[in-house]
Structure 1
Amino acid sequence: MWMMVPLKLLPSPVAKFLTYTGLANLLSYFFSYGSRSLAEVVNSLTENKDLRAVFCYFFGTYGNPPKEASFSMHSLLVCHYLPGAWYPKGGASQIAYNMIPIIEKAGGAVLVRASVNRILLNAANEAIGVSVMKGQEEVHVHAPIVVSDAGIFNTYQQLLPKEVQMRAAIQKQLGMMKHGEAGLSIFLGLNGTKEELGLKADNYWFFCENNLDEILNDYATGKREESVKSLPLIFFASPSAKDPTWEQRRPGKSTVTAVTFAPYSWFEEWKDEKVKNRGVDYKELKETIINSVLEVVTRTFPKIKDRIEYMDAGTPITNQHYLAASKGEIYGADHGTSRFTAEVCATIRPQTPIKNLFMTGQDLVSCGFAGAIMGAMVCGSAILNRNLYMDASALSKKLNQANAKKVQ
């Protein structure tokens, strides 16, 4: 991992030199394992199918089945996330609430509920700001630097003019990346405390069998109406149980979330229908999915079965509407073996082929909250022309020394 980030921080000619000479592969095991699948590595370690499944179970965190997942990506996320999910006190909204005052104090502003329509370019095709929609009115917001966290596909294919999209450098980057797996989310509101319902601040993975690649392939290639009746994997967690302030804010209530995957094509026929009014067939399909999830999770958590006050499901087209995920993906670009080669890591950089346009977020490094933060660190380093990782390390050391003095 720590070779992937330096490749993005190094000047482009140096990164390309390390890549094309093969030195990058010699300097770090990351790239040699990045091109090997998780299944390939794990299958070489043991013949025990149950043990193989245990070693591979974490693949749902980035959305690739073992035969397609990069072993380097899998080992990276296990090392970073296995101790447990990170959840802020007061809920995920606290991230934004605590960031906004810092941004405003630095002289910036945070604008919401105005979707970005396009990136503004001057006659030389340099980024000079963005256009946002205020109702039916187009408003131009000018800036010397534009940073996009909309993902590589939205940034290049939706926010830039067609003629600019066709630049060879942009097409090369797009050709290196694929859309990630589309996600399904189920949300339940419950009457009862975590103690009453037997909920804990843990993450749970449910699999119907130990042959993970096979069951996922059968699920994705099967008939939609039959596949959704028997989901091959489910991630389950209780956000309210993870939040120590929850009981003070919502006494006597709890929430749980379940996540799985489904092909975007299963739901594409409803993508242009009005949100919350997509017809009876769509509603019935969501109800089938919810019932399939409940059938599995209530075996382990039977106390929630009769305490459900609210339930709903978010499909790939829900993600498309609310998250601007073009194919319903929840982890951005695909995290398969092809993404974690030295060439891709050196090519997909915060600097884009468009002057003054930078890219950040999970498509730059890896998926999830921590991956997006790493993307921001790399992007910030490129813009400021300084290594923010070294700054963060120095700050951490300074704080640790200060805390040690307080203890004394």
Structure 2
Amino acid sequence: MLRTAVATAVVAASVLITGAAATPAPVPDDPTDPVRGSEYWLDAAHIREAWQTTRGEGATIAVIDTGIAKVPGVFDGAVADGTDVSGSGTSDGRTPLGAIDGNHGSWVASLAAARGTAEGTGMIGVAPEAKLLSISVGFGAAASVPFSEQIAKGMRWAVDHGADVINLSFTTNTLDWDQSWDDAFLYAFEHDVVVVVAAGNRGSGTNIIGAPATIPGVLTVGGVDQTGTASLEASTQGITIGVSAPSEGLIGMSADGTLASWNGTSGAAPIVAGVAALVRSAHPDMTAANVINRIIKTAVPAPGMTAVPDPLYGYGLLNAQAAVTADVPSVDKNPMGDLAEWVRLFRRAQTEPLPEPTATPIAVPPLPAADAPAEPTSPLLPSADSLRYGTLPLIALTVPGILVALGVTAAARRIRSARARTPNS
């Protein structure tokens, strides 16, 4: 999912998914600026309309990624705190990690909450008044700590430092996840944090949605192109997708302060994370489960959707203005699943104690002592056992047999003698 920039020039203005009415913007915003013009999702996902209600003030987005760089004018006043969990970065989490992926964290953060200029030009994020937390992680050789351990530690740090939303723009390309993530994600859910996760990209080898997008309770984001059609290269499809957002023709602020164009659900996820921050800002008492519910229930059905949720689009296309302002019935449970119940069912053998035995043991009397071994004797001499079990039974059977044979022989002789004395007729 982590991708290098294909160009440092700003992409041209793109086709909008849906049109938006021209209304006064509550933030400095010049739609004629070429950078703002290239951010087609601001109108496509009705973000400019949502700004009339909130800009994200009071909400905090934790970006667990390769680090948010110190880019002047882009993140000034935005990053409230940070840390490194890779063992390779700096303590503030602001040093980009990885020769290839070092810009990734900055791209993600700029889509979520870049500030823009006072004149309303330059890149602006979805929630330009939200705070950011930078938790730097390393992929592969960019870290000395195992990746699963980094994520578990990063999740807990984000929760403990006030995150309202956590963004995870990566995939593991496997359905299952390390067991340490059970407690880490449960910790976030138990502390009422919205966790937004990218679905992954077919173009980078992700053929199926992998963890953490498979973890119950997270809001998994699929990707669409500029026309609102499910992206074949810059997204992966699957039944865990909750909502879809733009993943093609995106821009992001690199660590060196230049703009780069890029594709992928790594960018779709922070757009949704920014909207989650807008919702939390507008409804500060709303639970994480209801924030997620508002985002998916106000999504716009995409052409060609065959079910709700749909494996290509989830509940539909992101609509920020409706998510912030619509009247949506509240829910008691996270509509994206219950991780605690999953753990109870699938980790049960490892978490529940073995049953105590109820039957009492039966005492078995000891066997009688064995006979003492006999003195060694010559095999040619009779022993007591050979006489008892061999010689005596043989005599008892042989003598009567001899007597019977003698009797039969004598009787036969008498008969022959008698026949010999009888005259012929």
Q: Same fold (TM over 0.5)?
A: no
Relative contact order (alpha carbons < 8 A, sep ≥ 6): 1 or 2 greater?
A: 1
> Into which bin does the TM-score normalised by the smaller protein fall?
under 0.3
Q: TM-score, normalised by structure 1?
A: 0.21
User: Which of the pair has more CA radius of gyration?
Assistant: 2
Larger proportion of helix: 1
